[in-house]
Structure 1
Amino acid sequence: MSLPRLLFLLLLLLPVLEIYLLIQVGGVIGAIPTIALVVFTAVLGALLLRHQGLAVLQRVQQLTQQGEAPTAAMLEGVVILLSGAMLLLPGFLTDALGLLGLVPPLRQALVAALLRRGLPRRPPPGGPAARPRRGPATLEGQYTREDD
C-alpha cells in the first residue's frame, strides 16, 4: 500500500475511532469525567513533553560539544515532537500513543529499532547524484586584470 493511501486511511479512520472511544468511555464514566480525563492527559503530556524535550536538547548539545554525532538524540527529539502533537489531539488513542512516546525506555527502543533498520537516504536536490558530472571539474579560461 502506498504512503499517500495509508495516510488517507489513517486520517479517515483515526477520528472515527477516537469518537467511538470517547462515546464508549463517556457512557461508562459520564461526560464530565471523560472531558476532564482528556484535559488531564493533555496537561500531563504537555508537562512531560517540556521535561523530556529539554533533557534531549541538553543531550544533543552535550554530544555536539564532544564532537559526536547526536543522531539517536535527534531522532528522540522527533519522536518527542510527534508525541506532543498526538497529545494535542483530543482522544484516548492519540493520548495513549503520545504518552508512550514520552516514556524514555520505550522511546529509546523505538529509536534504536529505527537506526538498526536504517533510515532512507536521499541525495540532496541538485547534488552530485542528481546530475552526472561530464568533463573536467575545473573551468578553463583567461582573465586580465585591469588596474585604474
Structure 2
Amino acid sequence: MRFLIPLLILGLPLAEIAGFVAVGREIGVAMTLLLVFLSAIAGIMLLRIQGFSVLRRVQEAARTGIDPGLDVLGGVLVFIAAILLIVPGFISDILGVFIFLPPVRRAVAAFLRSRITILSSAPGYGSSNPQSSGPHSTDPGSSGPRREDRRGPLIIDLEEDEFSRKKKDEDGPEPPTNRLSR
C-alpha cells in the first residue's frame, strides 16, 4: 500500500501518454485531439446536469428530514467522474464514464460508506427525544417518523453579555396588544 500511491502518481501519466500515442497512431492526431476535446465537453455537461440533479436531491432530503449523506457521497462521485472526463487522457475518461454509470456509482458509494462515517448536523437528525423513535411517531402511510417528531429540543446557547433581563421579563410576558408598535 505504501508504494501504490507513488506508483499511481508516476504510472498514470505515463499510461495516459502511452494511450495518446496508441490512439493517435490508429486514428490520427486530429481525431485524437477531437476526442480529448469532446470528452472534456461531455464532462462539463454531465457535471452540470448531474450536479444540479444531485443538488436538488440533497435539498429535497434536507427539506423532508431524510439524511442526505448518501446523496452527498453520490454528488462527490459525480464530481470526481466529471473531473476525470475533463482531464485529458483516455484512461481517466474510461474511469470517469464508469463512475458516471448509476450502478457503478452506487456500488462505489456503498463500498465507501462502509469505510467512512458521514455526519449530518442539519436540523431534524439525531433527535435526543427518546419518544420520537417509537412506533406512535409515524404518520399513516409514511415510511418514518414525522419531521416534527425527529427534531430535538431547540436550544439557543447565549453568553451573559449576549442578552439582558428587564423587570418586565421577570414578571412574565406582557399581554398582547392590538396596536402596531415599532
TM over 0.5: yes
Q: How much has 1:80 moved relative to structure 2?
A: 1.2
Q: 2:130 is matched with which residue?
A: none
Q: Helix, strand or coil for the counterpart of 2:9?
A: helix
Q: What is the CA–CA distance in structure 2 between the aligned matches of 1:103 and 1:54, rounded to whole Å?
A: 17
TM-score by length of 1: 0.74
Q: How much has 1:110 moved relative to structure 2?
A: 1.6
Q: 1:136 is matched with which residue?
A: none
- Structure 2: where are the runs of 5+ without partners? 119-182
Q: What is the CA–CA distance in structure 1 between the aligned matches of 2:62 and 2:25, rounded to whole Å?
A: 51
State the identity as a percent.
39
Structure index of larger Rg: 2
Contact 2:42 2:85 in 1 (8 A): no
Q: Which structure exhibits the higher relative contact order, with contacts defined as CA atoms closer than 8 Å and separated by 6 or more residues?
A: 1
Q: How much has 1:55 moved relative to structure 2?
A: 0.5
Q: 1:63 is matched with which residue?
A: 61
Q: How many residues align?
A: 118
**Map 1:45-60 → 2, pairs under 5 A:** 45-60=43-58
Contact 2:43 2:83 in 1 (8 A): no
4+ long deviations beyond 4 Å: none
Q: Which structure shows the bigger proportion of residues in helix conformation? A: 1
TM-score by length of 2: 0.61
- Structure 1: where are the runs of 5+ without partners? 122-148
**Map 1:1-148 → 2, pairs under 5 A:** 1-2=1-2, 5-115=3-113, 117-119=114-116
